[in-house]
Amino acid sequence: MADALRIGIAGVGTVGASLVRIIQQRQDELIATCGRPVEIVAVSARDRNKDRGIDLSGIEWFGGPVDLAQKANIDVFVELMGGAEGAANASVRAALARGLHVVTANKALLAYHGVELAEIAEEKGVLLNFEAAVAGGIPVIKALRESLTGNTVSRVYGIMNGTCNYILTKMEKEGLSFLECLTEAQRLGYAEADPAFDIEGNDTAHKLAILTTLAFGNRIAADDIYLEGITNISIEDIRAAADLGYRIKLLGVAQRTDTGIEQRVHPTMVPLESVIAQVDGVTNAVAIESDVLGELLMVGPGAGGNATASAVLGDIADIAKSRPGAQRVPVLGHPAKALEPYRKAQIQSHEGGYFIRLTVLDRTGVFASIATRMAENRISLESIVQRSTHHLSPSDHQTIILVTYATMEDSVRRAVASIKEEGYLVGEPQVIRIERPKEDG
């Protein structure tokens, strides 16, 4: 039997502890699958005395992750700390420079340093695997990097943040406000004490940036993504969407166009009968559209100790099965030095149209003014509905809901801005994209 694959783990939190437990409990299966034992021989963590519910006796402890990466007698460095900078960045670079294989679940690190780290890994002839960094237990990285070879991908999109999906699902199912659902998500551990990174869309954006590069062969552009979170979604939006036959989801979307690549993260109305509308709770879903295969939709747990540890272990198993000197699959699907500069697409017509909710003063001429502003910006309206808000606000307020046909986003934004200048708007307007099936386009 081949020598054991020696693993060092930096970060023994929820995911790290799950990984240790699985490896220790499934050693026979790993030997059968990988053809060699997989052994954890070294770890580093902030608190050595913390009870993690796992047996770490006989495993060497290091004072910090960089020390572990530089000095431990290991073949694979596993980074499970998180963060784009600091110890995570320094330790991964140290491990790669030493010629160690690296496995990470760190989407922020990859979103901001992935191309440079990929170049180091490819120069050293080692593997940098990161299946767990995007959508937890869903094997979307392997699909894009290996399984779809020969396909030309046109679009990647999906639900990539379980916290947001849980909140939106609970708002719809139980009729609760955003803040009530966020509080419950925090109580259950689905949301952090400071949830901004999730609910403002940053987490989804980091994952989308990585998928975009794998799909289209461009350099990662994490700061060039249109970003809008779910903090402004109200229960009224949820109810109005249902009345119109839609459900609201936070989607990350990347697509190739004639003028470049479009990347966006925002709340989206999807048809109730669509598959992605049925993805509820903390579950994630990623769809890949390509010329040969068509549409591939993968659904599964996007977070949690076991789901993420499963993806990490899959990456470790790939390394265990790899042969020394064998040709490596490029870290980002294409050789890092050959990645093309990111070219941002020009804004284009959105085929699904838009949902616009306006709370206005109940005055004569308001309807006519809104219709005029839309016409001035060449926006055709599929429907315009007046909804009573007497149970929510003073009787001199009305809610007007507009659904547009396909139009340009900048036209919608200009129209809404001009309506705000009229003086009859109460509060901020709500604008949500509508995504319809291709056959409806």
Residues labelled as active-site residues: 207
Burial of 70 (0-12, 13-18, 19+ CB in 10 A): middle
416 burial level (CB within 10 Å; 0-12, 13-18, 19+)? buried
**Region of 294 on the Ramachandran plot (φ > 0 left; ψ -120 to 50 alpha; else beta):** left
> Cα dist. 427→39, 60, 199 in Å?
59, 59, 21
Interacting residues of 225 by C-beta distance below 8 A, sequence separation 6+: 205, 208, 209, 263, 264, 265
* CA-to-CA dists, residue 432 to 173, 219, 250, 401, 412, angstroms: 20, 29, 10, 11, 10
* Residue 15, token pair as written in the block: 């995911």
- Helical ranges in 217-283 per DSSP H: 235-243
Contacts of 42 (CB under 8 A, 6+ apart): 6, 7, 8, 9, 59, 60, 61, 62, 68, 72, 73, 74
